[in-house]
């Protein structure tokens, strides 16, 4: 029986390994983590992450061929294939601070693998890492290898949160990079055999190590670039009277461009786009390619501009001040169908509004008050470390309340800001919300999910990203 061990029981390690266990009943899968809290949650009925379909997959294999454990060394030493899916945050200090990937967790995992291994192993990079990381890992593993043969593979993950199970069941592609040697090819084949249990052969792409590592950074950069492109257009739409939804539709009909990932928004969030582009920028700089670095940096600049623009719209529309005014924030997660708040645009928008002395009332169906408080008091990039190593929020942010109902959040509010495209926000009783708000009642839709005309008829002053402006807003400057 092939034994797989995955180091890191997070958003990637957990769902990925659960699907491997489900699809490969003949393979034993153990997911290990240094966070006792996380492992306990995986072993309970309340999984540590919310992901549609995940509960069902875990239920089917937990205790059969899928296990979660804190006995990291024991399971690593017994495994044939070791996946490493630990955090690779942005460095906050020292060389490359604010850009380079912090490989502390990866390196400590690699050193531990080298220390405890007694048999040959395939070590798989599942985390997103800078190109050429495998070379460094190889050095760590082989330095003290006691004659053990380690083969390093790069097998980046492309799942998106909220659709992780769907993406893992039917991936567009699985990418495996390995050394171009007979031993390397054998290791690639062994991993291919695992995926071949359910992924059609023509969707499994095999490349050299560096192409696989770089393809992951490139894919995220391309995806984020699309959003920044459409968001840049949204600003121009507002200035000219064009409608960004119509523009996206028309542009996306070109089969060379395609319709997906063209929704204008308050900005992209999530744990990876910004981190991976910063990493890419750093790699370009290190390779003496400042023009290429600046090109990609612009994707993040436009994203920051979009968030600032949104805050400025709110403040300038509301007579240039939100001081003491209640603003209802609907949604805090970085996208719908996840409770993940890492790099959510809601953080920057809330901080911007609090900076202008607004009083916030926040509702998100999947995000707890504790999490929101942590997010709003944490320093940039601190969030991307194992939970138990993150600083606790020392003082609660007083200018906000977190409630468990959209109607409660909007009661007596001067404005509503929609930050996440949860389906339930599309079908709220907006007449009831309007009736219970202060007047004039403002609604700022950062996700373009409301029916603008219907809401204007009710009486709201509506701002929706990239849509023709309300008469009220036309003369209000909202440049960042
Ligand atoms: N979240 C996502 O949707 C995607 C993330 N990725 C990449 O996958 C990697 C992991 O991301 P997530 O799963 O989101 O992170 P996460 O923070 O949810 O999980 C990482 C886990 O690794 C554990 N860990 C850290 N060091 C360890 C060690 N030495 N030994 C044992 N456990 C250790 C942490 O306690 C944590 O539970 C990152 O490199 C990320 O860029 C790639 C594709 C998608
Ligand atoms: O490496 C990663 O972590 C993953 O990053 C993204 O997945 P994820 O961040 O989970 O979610 P996305 O659906 O890509 O959304 C990212 C952000 O962009 C925003 N977005 C997305 C699409 C769009 O058209 N407009 C838009 O503003 C979303 O609301 C969200 O804030 C990629 O889609 C995955 O392929 C990749 O594996």
Query: Candidates 5, 6, 8: which one to mutate for ligand 1, based on the most atoms within 8 Å of Cβ?
Result: 8
Residues 149 and 255 in one domain: no
Residues 453 and 407 in one domain: yes
CA nearest to 89, candidates 386, 388, 393: 386
Binding site membership of 11 for ligand 2 (Cβ less than 6 Å):
no
Structure token pair of residue 26: 């003949």
Count of other CB atoms within 10 angstroms of residue 261: 16
> How high is the pLDDT of residue 388?
66
The reply to whether 210 falls in a domain is: no
Q: Which ligand is nearest to the CA of 103?
A: 1
How many residues in the chain? 480
> How high is the pLDDT of residue 396?
66
For ligand 1, the distance from its centroid to the CA atom of residue 236, given in whole angstroms, is 38
- For the CA of 105, the nearest atom of ligand 1: 26
Selected catalytic residue, list 272, 284, 286, 350: 272
> How high is the pLDDT of residue 391?
63
Average pLDDT over residues 445-465: 97
- For the CA of 421, the nearest atom of ligand 2: 29
Task: Assess whether pLDDT exceeds 70 at residue 480.
Answer: no
Half-sphere exposure of 1 (CA within 13 A, CB side): 12
Residues 21 and 161 in one domain: yes
> How high is the pLDDT of residue 252?
98
At residue 115, the 3 state secondary structure works out as: helix
> How high is the pLDDT of residue 398?
77
Residues 162 and 301 in one domain: no
Ligand 1, atom 19, residue with closest C-alpha: 10
Average pLDDT over residues 17-21: 98
Task: Assess whether pLDDT exceeds 80 at residue 113.
Answer: yes
Task: Assess whether pLDDT exceeds 70 at residue 26.
Answer: yes
Helix (H) or strand (E) holding 462: strand 461-464
What residues make up the domain containing 388?
224-475
> How high is the pLDDT of residue 383?
67
The reply to whether 213 falls in a domain is: no
For ligand 2, the distance from its centroid to the CA atom of residue 270, given in whole angstroms, is 7
Residues 102 and 152 in one domain: yes
Q: What pLDDT digit, counting tens, does each position of 170-228 carry? A: 999 999 999 999 999 999 999 999 999 999 999 999 999 999 999 999 999 999 999 99
Does ipTM surpass 0.90 in this model? yes
CA nearest to 210, candidates 190, 180, 186: 180
Pick from 93-97, 386-390, 459-463, 472-476: least confident: 386-390
Q: What pLDDT digit, counting tens, does each position of 264-319 carry? A: 999 999 999 999 999 999 999 999 999 999 999 999 999 999 999 999 999 999 99
> How high is the pLDDT of residue 442?
98
Count of other CB atoms within 10 angstroms of residue 235: 20
> How high is the pLDDT of residue 474?
73
Count Cβ atoms within 10 A of the Cβ of residue 198 and give its class: 0-12 exposed, 13-18 middle, 19 or more buried.
Answer: middle
Residue 392 binned pLDDT confidence (cut-offs 50, 70, 90): low
The reply to whether 205 falls in a domain is: no
Binding site membership of 38 for ligand 1 (Cβ less than 6 Å):
yes
For ligand 1, the distance from its centroid to the CA atom of residue 340, given in whole angstroms, is 13
Residue 29 φ/ψ region, left for φ over 0, alpha for ψ in the -120 to 50 degree band, beta for the rest: beta
> How high is the pLDDT of residue 92?
87
- For the CA of 340, the nearest atom of ligand 2: 10
The reply to whether 437 falls in a domain is: yes
Task: Assess whether pLDDT exceeds 70 at residue 440.
Answer: yes
CA nearest to 344, candidates 317, 361, 367, 322: 367
Task: Assess whether pLDDT exceeds 90 at residue 416.
Answer: yes
Residue 473 binned pLDDT confidence (cut-offs 50, 70, 90): confident
Paired with 93 in beta bridges are none
Binding site membership of 10 for ligand 1 (Cβ less than 6 Å):
yes
Rg of the Cα atoms in the chain: 24
Residue 35 sits in a domain of what CATH number? 3.40.50.720
Mean pLDDT of the chain: 94
> How high is the pLDDT of residue 477?
60
> How high is the pLDDT of residue 478?
56
> How high is the pLDDT of residue 393?
56
Q: Are 70 and 33 in contact (CB under 8 A)?
A: yes
Task: Assess whether pLDDT exceeds 70 at residue 145.
Answer: no
Task: Assess whether pLDDT exceeds 80 at residue 460.
Answer: yes
* Domains of the chain: total: 2
Residues 179 and 280 in one domain: no
Ligand 2, atom 37, residue with closest C-alpha: 158
The reply to whether 219 falls in a domain is: no
Q: Is 6 a catalytic residue?
A: no
Beta strand 442-445 pairing with 461-464: parallel
d(Cα 178, Cα 81) in Å, to the nearest integer?
A: 14
> How high is the pLDDT of residue 395?
62
- For the CA of 108, the nearest atom of ligand 1: 29
> How high is the pLDDT of residue 321?
95
């Amino acid at each position: 029986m092939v034994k797989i061990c995955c180091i890191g029981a997070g958003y990637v390690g957990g769902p990925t390994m659960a699907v491997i266990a489900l699809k490969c009943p003949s393979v034993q899968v153990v997911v290990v983590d240094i966070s006792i809290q996380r492992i306990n949650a995986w072993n309970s009925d309340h999984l540590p992450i919310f992901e549609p379909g995940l509960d069902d997959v875990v239920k089917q294999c937990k205790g059969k061929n899928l296990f979660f454990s804190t006995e990291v060394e024991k399971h690593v030493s017994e495994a044939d294939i070791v996946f490493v899916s630990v955090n690779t945050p942005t460095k906050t200090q020292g060389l490359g601070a604010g850009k380079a990937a912090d490989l502390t967790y990866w390196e400590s995992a690699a050193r531990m693998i080298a220390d405890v291994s007694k048999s040959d192993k395939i070590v798989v990079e599942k985390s997103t890492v800078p190109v050429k990381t495998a070379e460094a890992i190889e050095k760590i593993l082989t330095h003290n290898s006691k004659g053990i043969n380690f083969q390093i593979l790069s097998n980046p993950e492309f799942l998106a949160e909220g659709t992780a199970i769907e993406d893992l069941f039917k991936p567009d592609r699985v990418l495996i990079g390995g050394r171009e040697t007979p031993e390397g090819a054998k290791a690639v084949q062994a991993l291919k055999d695992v995926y071949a249990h359910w992924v059609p052969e023509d969707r499994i792409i095999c490349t050299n190590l560096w192409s696989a590592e770089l393809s992951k950074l490139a894919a995220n950069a391309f995806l984020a670039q699309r959003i920044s492109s459409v968001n840049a257009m949204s600003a121009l739409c507002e200035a000219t009277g064009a409608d960004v939804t119509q523009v996206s539709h028309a542009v996306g009909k070109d089969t060379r461009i395609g319709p997906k990932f063209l929704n204008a928004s308050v900005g992209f969030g999530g744990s990876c786009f910004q981190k991976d582009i910063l990493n890419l920028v750093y790699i370009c700089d290190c390779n003496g390619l400042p023009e290429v670095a600046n090109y990609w940096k612009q994707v993040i600049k436009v994203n920051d501009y979009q968030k600032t623009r949104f805050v400025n719209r709110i403040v300038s529309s509301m007579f240039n001040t939100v001081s003491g005014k209640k603003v209802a924030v609907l949604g805090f997660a970085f996208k719908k169908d996840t409770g993940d708040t890492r790099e959510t645009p809601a953080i920057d928008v809330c901080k911007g509004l609090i900076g202008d002395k607004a009083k916030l009332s926040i509702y998100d169906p999947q995000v707890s008050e504790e999490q929101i408080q942590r997010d709003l008091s944490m320093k940039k990039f601190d969030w991307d470390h194992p939970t138990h190593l993150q600083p606790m929020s020392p003082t609660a942010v007083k200018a906000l309340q977190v409630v468990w109902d959209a109607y409660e959040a909007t009661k007596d509010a001067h404005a509503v800001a929609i930050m996440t495209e949860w389906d339930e926000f599309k079908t709220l009783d907006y007449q009831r919300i309007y009736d219970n708000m202060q007047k004039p009642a403002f609604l700022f839709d950062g996700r373009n999910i409301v029916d603008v005309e219907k809401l204007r008829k009710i009486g709201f002053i509506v701002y929706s990203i990239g849509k023709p402006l309300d008469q009220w807003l036309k003369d209000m400057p909202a440049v960042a």
